Amino acid sequence: MERARPLPSRRRLLRGAVLAAVPYTLLPATRAGAQAQAVDYPLAEWQPASIANYTASNRPTSYPLDRVIVHVTQETYLDALDIFRNPAKQVSAHYVVRSADGHVAQCVREHDVAWHAGNWDYNTRSIGIEHEGWVDRPASFTNALYEASARLTAAVCTAYGIPKDRAHIIGHHEVPGSDHTDPGPNWDWTRYIRLVNFA
């Protein structure tokens, strides 16, 4: 004999009504035209870079992965994504982390070579992570940004056996031949590496 289903609780009904009332534009979603694709990092949203802005590859088979390179956008989060979508820009990174809430977008698959370091050898062997902010505005390096980025970097390091230390997690300014200064003197490396190791 089949049992009667229990009626939903008042709380459950109210919660459903609230979600139904939330405008569609406030819910997280991919941009119109951005095809959903499996991401390498489960907490990331797929926001693809133009195929003209990276090199298709089969890493770590084609190139070993032994670095994570920390960048600062010098742009807003949305402007950085737009730059990576523009085929004329010839630049990309694997990930972009938003300042306000630590939201992560993946723009290039980890097995592909993003053009982020300005040095082909370093591009082939690294994952590039952009952080929304400006090198001279330390307030853009929020707790949410540090914590989300550290979890992402820890996951990348674990996936590829990259040591979670300053020799293998470097700033863009440390790439040979780079003329960039990011992440700059306001980036708290001690805090960041500690967060990566405890993520």
pLDDT at position 183 over 80: yes
Distance CA 179, CA 154 (A): 27
pLDDT band at 38 (very low <50, low <70, confident <90, very high): confident
Percent of the chain with pLDDT over 70: 82
How far does the chain reach from its first CA to its final CA, in angstroms?
50
Query: Is pLDDT larger for residue 121 or for residue 2?
Result: 121
SS (H, E, C) 78-106: HHHHHHHHCCCCCCCCCEEECCCCCCEEE
pLDDT at position 29 over 70: no
Determine which of 17-21, 123-127, 150-154, 183-187 has the lowest per-residue pLDDT on average: 17-21
Q: Residue 173 is inside which H or E element, if any?
A: none
What CA–CA distances, in Å, run from 146 to 15, 99, 105, 114, 151? 32, 9, 15, 22, 9
pLDDT band at 85 (very low <50, low <70, confident <90, very high): very high
Distance CA 142, CA 81 (A): 19
Active site residues: 130
Distance CA 146, CA 171 (A): 14
Strand 44-46, strand 54-55: pairing: unpaired
Question: What would the pLDDT profile of 43-62 be if each residue is shown by its tens digit?
Answer: 999 999 999 999 999 999 99
Distance CA 92, CA 31 (A): 18
φ, ψ (nearest 5 deg) of residue 171:
-90, 155
The mean pLDDT value for 121-139 works out to 98
